């Protein structure tokens, strides 16, 4: 059976999920901006045409008698006036809604960005530990039942790696930075992006997921340099999202390069 090949114009290959997300969010921004421009144009047309049509209706109303042709023309103009009036009244409300959608997309995009990053951290740590089981030596003990159930060095190593990753998942990024430094001798304070920048991005995602985007005390504790007041809403602008994507891509590239040079070559 021949393999289906999508049309070349619509088929884009991305190097990573991060690139795919950045592309999607960029095109979404353009889509909503274009929609707002269309809605603005409809309002301009309506406001320009309405006075002329209303004058024509007044001319008909000033006549003592209307022919059937006049009545038909009058009713047609009336329908057009009603339609344009609806545009003039309701389209501005549509514009407000469309202006809100892009930020919603950015909030969802930031959440997905952090999810991709957390998945990457789990995968790369597991990959390093499986390739270098000695890094797991930390005095942890297994029960007899666990040893009998797992039966085999490879499965035991995999199990211990998963347990170690589970413990990290519930900690702060500061804990992950310390883990990489202590366990793998990889310092995540890079020239391109600092752990503080990543911490701020993760904290921003968390307040949007758990606190409707409002700054809470945990955010203030984690993001020490923040000037946002308690209870302030932290907007996810297009520039901020582009910044967040750039920071995550930089830290992923750095970790990947260091891990593959030191442990996975």
pTM, 2 dp: 0.76
CA–CA distance, 101 with 14 (Å, rounded to integer): 25
- At 139 the pLDDT is 53
The pair of three-digit structure tokens given for residue 51, joined into one six-digit string = 């006075």
Average pLDDT of 127-142? 70
- At 1 the pLDDT is 44
The answer to whether residue 143 scores a pLDDT higher than 60 is no
CA–CA distance, 232 with 168 (Å, rounded to integer): 30
CA–CA distance, 158 with 161 (Å, rounded to integer): 5
Nearest to 117 by CA among 191, 204, 187, 181: 204
Helices (H), the chain: 17-61, 68-131, 144-150, 153-169, 173-184, 195-210, 217-222, 238-262
| Cα torsion 238, 244, 248, 254: sign | positive
**CA 22, chain centre distance (Å):** 8
65: phi then psi, degrees, rounded to nearest 5: -135, 145
Let me know: does 90 contact 114? Beta carbons within 8 Å.
no
Average pLDDT of 188-199? 94
Residue predicted with more confidence, 65 or 214? 214
């Amino acid at each position: 059976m021949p393999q289906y090949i999508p049309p070349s114009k619509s088929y884009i290959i991305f190097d990573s999920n991060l690139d795919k997300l950045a592309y999607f969010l960029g095109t979404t921004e353009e889509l909503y901006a274009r929609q707002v421009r269309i809605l603005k144009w409809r309002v301009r047309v309506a406001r320009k045409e309405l006075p002329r049509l209303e004058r024509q209706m007044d001319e008909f109303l000033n006549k003592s008698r209307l022919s059937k042709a006049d009545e038909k023309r009058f009713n047609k103009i009336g329908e057009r006036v009603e339609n344009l009036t609806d545009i003039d009244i309701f389209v501005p409300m549509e514009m407000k809604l469309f202006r809100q959608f892009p930020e919603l997309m950015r909030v969802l995009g930031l959440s997905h960005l952090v999810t991709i990053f957390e998945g990457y951290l789990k995968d790369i740590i597991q990959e390093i530990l499986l390739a270098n089981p000695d890094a797991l030596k930390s005095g942890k003990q297994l029960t007899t039942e666990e040893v009998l159930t797992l039966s085999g060095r490879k499965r035991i190593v995999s199990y211990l790696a998963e347990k170690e990753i589970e413990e990290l998942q519930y900690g702060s990024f500061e804990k992950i930075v310390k883990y990489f430094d202590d366990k793998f001798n990889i310092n995540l304070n890079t020239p391109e992006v600092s752990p503080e920048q990543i911490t701020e991005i993760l904290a921003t995602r968390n307040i949007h997921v758990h606190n409707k985007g409002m700054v809470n005390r945990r955010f203030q504790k984690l993001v020490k340099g923040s000037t946002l007041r308690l209870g302030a809403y932290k907007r996810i602008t297009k520039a901020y999202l582009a910044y967040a994507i750039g920071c995550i891509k930089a830290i992923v590239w750095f970790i990947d390069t260091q891990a593959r040079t030191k442990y996975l070559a």
